[in-house]
Structure formats: structure tokens, C-alpha cells
Chain A
Amino acid sequence: MTTQTLTLAQGLNAGLRQALADDDHVVLLGEDIGALGGVFRVTDGLQREFGPRRVVDTPLAESGILGTAIGMSYRGYRPVVEIQFDGFVYVAFDQIVSQVAKMHARTRGKVPMPITIRIPVAGGIGAAEHHSESPETYFVHTAGLRVVSVSNPQDASTVLRQAIACDDPVIFFEPKRLYHVKGEVDAAVDLADAPPMSAAHVVRPGRDVTVVSWGSHVATAIDAAEAMADDGASVEVIDLRSLSPWDADAVAESVRRTGRLVVVHEGPRQVGVGAEICATVTERCFEHLEAPPVRVTGHDVPYPPAKLEGHHVPDLDRVCFGIDQVLGRVPLDVPTVTRTAQEVAA
């Protein structure tokens, strides 16, 4: 095993290069992914190495990119689509939800859609409108899709290769604020030996509280765990990695030991992935819970302008506050029943 120090973006690049080399039917489609190497340089050098038929600059139409990827899948290809920014994926929503997600079921297994849809995700980088979205719930809610999000350069390389090798369509979220974070990467991991794409990782063991997150907020959770250690609380941090399916066994096993759950995500709270995790853990660990599960999330607002994102994106203090809530150190601060039965009926 040979490792090298790579940024997360370089880890993705290494994963793509390996996938292109491993399988002639892997093709990359996207805007500005050729000569430019992508606006985040994730595809840097790949067109030069593999040619313009395998690393394809497309016209500026996301629905067109996805629709074309579907036709190529019919033809036996494994398209890897780059959506330039999270907020641009919505114009491709119909092709993803109505076609990509349903084709295998529609054709009773005759036509798989081994499409990987790479989406730079989330905020915290002071970007313009439509460049900081966290749209994971839409895709998690869509049967037929798998949804993953990576938090470190090694997973960027390995999980991306797993996603490309998977016969199901995979939404692959790349946290923008982590693109330049460095780590050790073995770019040639044998996928047969790698942990399954859907498996959560316990990235920091603990006894008192379980914090579940993914993507960019795994780091926030680890920071919070270290801060809370100084405060006398032992916090376990789980990198969920896969949001659909999600590793409920790993989370439930942890919460059975800690009795307390905090879910951290940047997407809005209402019907966010955290809601599903909290509901499932409540069902599966009800008798083990010492406190109601708590969600630390973005607000239910349009992603705010850059100067305001510090009030929206979960940060170290808000995660610590959530941990304090499940520990009973601060009030939960959830609305109590404020209306009588008669008032509700009226």
C-alpha cells in the first residue's frame, strides 16, 4: 500500500483516474470539466489523459446532461456526471427523479442506471446565491437512488470508485469547504477489501453522547467532542457517510450505549435527514434514551447571503449547545403545548 498526501479534491481526481483506467465504459460528463478541469479542478488533467470522448464537456444544460447520461447507460456506459454547483441540480431534477431513479424498476431490472452524480454541496465558503445548497433530502426521499457524502480525502477516492462501480445511481456529495483539506490517500485500494459504501464509521469513540453527521460537519462534530471532553463529557462521533441507505444499525448500537443522540446537518430541519434518524432511533432505542434526540441544523430558510451564513451553518458552539441539551445541562428549548384542547378544536 502506497499513500500520498492529497487534498479532498485531489483524492476525487485520483478516484476518477483509477475508475477511468479500470473500466473503458466509465465516461465523465459535465460543464467545464475538460480543458479547465472543473471549476474546483476535480477533473484536472483527465481529458488530456483519457480523451474528449471519455471526459466530455457538455453544453450548459443540466437536464440535458442527465438525460444524455441515461441514454449512455442504455448503451452500456457508466456515466459520471459533474453538476457544477448544488443549486444547479434542480433543473435536472425531473431526469434524476422520474427517469434515473425509476428506470431499473420500470424495466423490471432490464436497464440499470449505473450513473454517479457528483454534486459540490453546502456552504460556509462565502459563495453567491445557489452555490451553498444542501439538497440531500430530495434525493434521500427518492426510491431508487443511493446518496453518499464524503468527509475526508481517502473516502473521496475510495467511495467515489465504489459509487462508479455500483449498478445503482448514486448521488455523490462533495462538501465544498473540504475540497482543500488534506489527508493520506491510498488511491489504489482494492474495492473488495474496502468497507461497504453504505457503512457508517465511528470516527471518535465516546460513552455519553452520540453525534451523527456527514460531509463537512463531521469535522465540526469532532471539534465539539474535543471541546466537550474538556467539559467532562465523552462524545462519540459517527460519520454516517451514506445517507441512503443509512446505517441505522451502527447508529442504534451507539445510542444504546450512550443513551443520547445529536444529529448535525446543514440542510433545513423540516423533514431533513436528521428527522428520519431521530425517528428511527426513537423507535429502535426508546428504552435506552436518556433524553429526546436533538437536531442541530440549518434553519428553515432559503440559504442566506454570505454575510449571514454564520447564523445558518451549524458551528462548534451550536453543536456543543446541542450536546449540552441532551446532557440536560441546558433546556431543550422546544415549544411546549401552548393551546388547550378546546383551542385546538376551535
Chain B
Amino acid sequence: MPSTTDPRTRRLSRAGHDSSVDSAHGGARDHAPAPAHPAPAPDGAQTGDGTVRLIDADGVRHPDAAYDRWVEDVDHAALRELYEDMVVVRRIDTEATALQRQGQLALWPPLLGQEAAQIGSARALETDDFVFSSYREHGVAHVRGIAGADLLRVWRGVTGAGWDPHEARMAPMQVIIGAQALHAVGYAVGILADQETDERGEAPGSGATAGAAPTEAVISYFGDGATSQGDVAEAFTFASTWTAPVVFFCQNNQWAISEPVSLQSKVPLVERARGYGMPGVRVDGNDVLAVLAVTREALHRARTGGGPTFIEAVTYRRGPHTTADDPTRYRTSAEIEHWEARDPVSRVATHLRSEGALDDDGEARVQAAADAVAAELRAGVTTIADPSWQDVFADVYAEPHAELEAERDAYARYLDGFATTEGGGR
């Protein structure tokens, strides 16, 4: 992780401006009109379109002059951990989908295919960083330590937030597309304001020390569809002109329910960044190592006063939008097969095996660990208590609200009427 002796830090402080600004804008070298449905980047490290890739679909590790330094600490053991993370969240996803089919959950939005984008980016975060995500980031939530019942509560329909946002350093999932990008910017502006308060020495801040760059950063997750939302455009403007310590992490999974990304943008999404004066980088979202590298770089930029970064992680949603969706109506099996061949999990296994760092026993251990997490998840469902009728009225206001309390009490008397007449009631 970045420190004063970190080559990443030295590079940034020496350069003044991060070289990735150029590489990011270089990501938009190709000014030809985007194809109706943008083809995935060609395989191999030399992507030709500026897409950062360190491990290709065949598990081959390619050197990268700009990004190797960001993951030089990732040895075989660390890569095995990233691999296990991905196996585990895929297993969580499978189990939750099954729980929905069995009637235990009302709905589930599968993440299948997006494991590397979520694990690589989330593992780049420090504990104190704050996450504002959409609704498909179960992998991010897993990395934040959210497990078992907490992952499922919302999808079982018992509450609006499965966890304490401050404990997890992750806001509850956001359903309104793109709204959370602004919340992330506001939080990041709060970090800057804390810093200034600390410098004045007038009030305790939340971690920053006097005169220092912010030590915390914020990351916002959203999808390709969200880039069409005004809120996301506004978030880019606010973050850029205010130099807010925030990373915009866009998982371009090619589909917004049934709408292809070509309906959202005529140009590669990464090009959006340039108009906001913000570095943008396109990464193979199915390459966990490359995602880790670009996210670490972006977070470092945020922490060192460089402001926001836009990351377009090119990936694919292999499952339905949610368990209520039928993707066979709008896309071909050939397309899915194309992306299955670029699986984010198996490429890491192949790579580790080629390096002699993973064998059958190792894979079996990882699978067993994933099965244990799945069992914990399934057990967690049974621990989720049904909410009480009083919860309808709870926490609508932070301060006492006599009128709502009277409304609740009237409803209680109504329910009590059943208790008297039918022996039932509440």
C-alpha cells in the first residue's frame, strides 16, 4: 500500500502530474465511431485501445511499464487470496440465486462475470475509505466484511439497509441509478473540509492530520447505464472542479437490463473523463490484477491531492439483470460464450498453476472455503427475523414526531381490535 517509500508515491511526487493522465487520455486514441455494440478488447496485453491488462484470458502475465509497479507487492500468495475472494463471491452469488429460486429471497441481482472488477477494486481500498455502491456489488460488500444475513436482509425484503454503513464503511446499496455518485462526492468534500478544520486546529477531524493530504478516499460504483444519468454527470463536475478525493468506478458490463452500452454512449465510456478534466483509465474488468493496479493508482491520486479518477472496467454481466429478468430475449448465447472464454476466475487459476502456485489440493481448499461461506449464507437466512408492524413507523424521523406517533398508535388500536374479537391481533 502507498507509503512515503513507495515507488508509486515517489513517481507521483516527482512527476507532479500523474503519467496516467496521458495514458488515460491515450485510452481514447481511437476516435472512430464506436461500433453498434462495442467489441471486447482483443486479448493479450497489447490491447491496442489503451485498455490496461496484466493477466490475459489465457492466464498469461504480461509486463506493463505503467502499472506493474502498482502491484509489485502482489506475490503468488496475494494473488491466491484474490483468486479465493473471487471463488467465494461467485459461490455467494450462486447460493443467493438458489435461495431466491427457493423463495427465501424476493430478488437477487447476480454478479456472475464481474468478480474481478469488484474484488480487484475493493481490495485496493484501505479500511477507512468509504464505499457508495449500486445494488450488484456483493463482492465489494464481502471484502468490506459484510457477510451472512447482512448480505441478504435487503433482498429478503425486511429492511432498506442490511448493515451499519458507518461500521462497514459502505453505504447501503443504491437503487436509483447513479444517485450514489453524488453522495460519494459529498463525502469526499467532507474529507477535505475535515482537513481544513484540522489545519485551523479548531475541531477534531476524522483522521486527517494538519497540513497533510487527505488520508481517506471514497469510491463510487455504478454501471454503464448510470453514465447516462444527470447525477453522474453532475458528480463528475463537482468532483473535478473541487478536486475531491473520489474514484468513480464504472463496471461497464455491457448491458443495462436489455439496453446495450451503445445506447448509452457513442464513444468508449472512458472518454467521458476528458471533458471533465479528470483522468480516465480503461481496464480489463475481468483481470483482477489490472483492476487492483488501476484502482490503487486512482486512490493514491485521490489521497495526494490529485482529485477524482474515472475508471471504466470492461466486463460482462453473464447472468440476468436480476432473478426477475430473462436475458434470452435480448442477447445471444454466442455472446455469452465469448465472455465465458474470458472468465475472470479461471484465468487466475490458470496463471497460478502455470507458476506452480496452485494445485488440485489448493483449488479444493479454496472451493471448500467457498462452500463454507455459502453454508454460512444459507444459515444466515434463517436467522433473519421478520420485521414487526411497528417497524413500518420506525426511524422515519430522527427526532420525536407526535403526529406520526399518533398515527402509529391509532393503527395499534385497530390491530388490537382483532385481538379482542378474534383472539388474534398483533
Contact = CB atoms under 8 A, between A and B. Distances in A.
Interface of A: 24-25, 27, 51, 53-54, 58-59, 61, 63-64, 66-77, 91, 94-95, 98-99, 102, 104-112, 114, 143-144, 146, 166-168, 198, 245-246, 248
5 contacts: A67-B231, A74-B171, A99-B176, A105-B395, A106-B161
Contact of A245 (B206, B238, B398, B403): B403
Contact of B161 (A67, A75, A108): A108
Interface string B363-376: 00000000000000
B396 A143 contact: yes
Interface of B is mostly: helix
A109 B179 contact: no
A48 B15 CA distance: 35
Nearest to A146: B397
B164 interface: yes
Contacts of B184: 71
Interface in B236-295: 237-238, 241
A341 B398 CA distance: 49
B61 to A, nearest CB: 38
A98 B231 CA distance: 13
A69 B404 CA distance: 26
Contacts of A114: 398
A112 B218 CA distance: 19
Interface residues of B, number: 49
Given A63-B230, A72-B189, A77-B190, A110 B166 contact: yes
A167 B237 CA distance: 29
A58 B396 contact: no
A54 B234 CA distance: 20
B42 interface: no
Contact of B238 (A51, A58, A246, A248): A58
B160 interface: yes
Given A69-B186, A70-B183, A71-B132, 11 more contacts: A27-B193, A59-B237, A61-B230, A64-B185, A67-B186, A72-B190, A110-B161, A167-B398, A168-B397, A245-B404, A248-B403
Interface of A is mostly: loop
B336 interface: no
Contact of B206 (A68, A76, A95): A76
A95 B182 contact: yes
B130 interface: yes
A178 B404 CA distance: 32
Given A98-B179, A111-B166, A168-B398, A64 B237 contact: yes
Contacts of A106: 160-161, 172
Contacts of B96: none
B186 A167 contact: no
A75 B190 contact: yes
A91 B194 CA distance: 29
A63 B182 contact: yes
Nearest to A248: B403
A83 B253 CA distance: 36
A68 to B, nearest CB: 4
A46 to B, nearest CB: 16
A110 B159 CA distance: 13
Interface in B152-196: 159-161, 164-166, 171-172, 176, 179, 181-194, 196
B160 A111 contact: no
B203 interface: yes
Contact of A99 (B179, B185, B235): B179
B237 A108 contact: no
Contacts of A63: 182, 230-231, 234
A73 B185 CA distance: 12
Nearest to B397: A168
Contacts of B396: 104-105, 143-144
A107 B202 contact: no
A108 B395 contact: yes
A53 B176 CA distance: 29
B360 interface: no
B334 interface: no
Contacts of A248: 403
B183 A74 contact: yes
Nearest to B195: A53
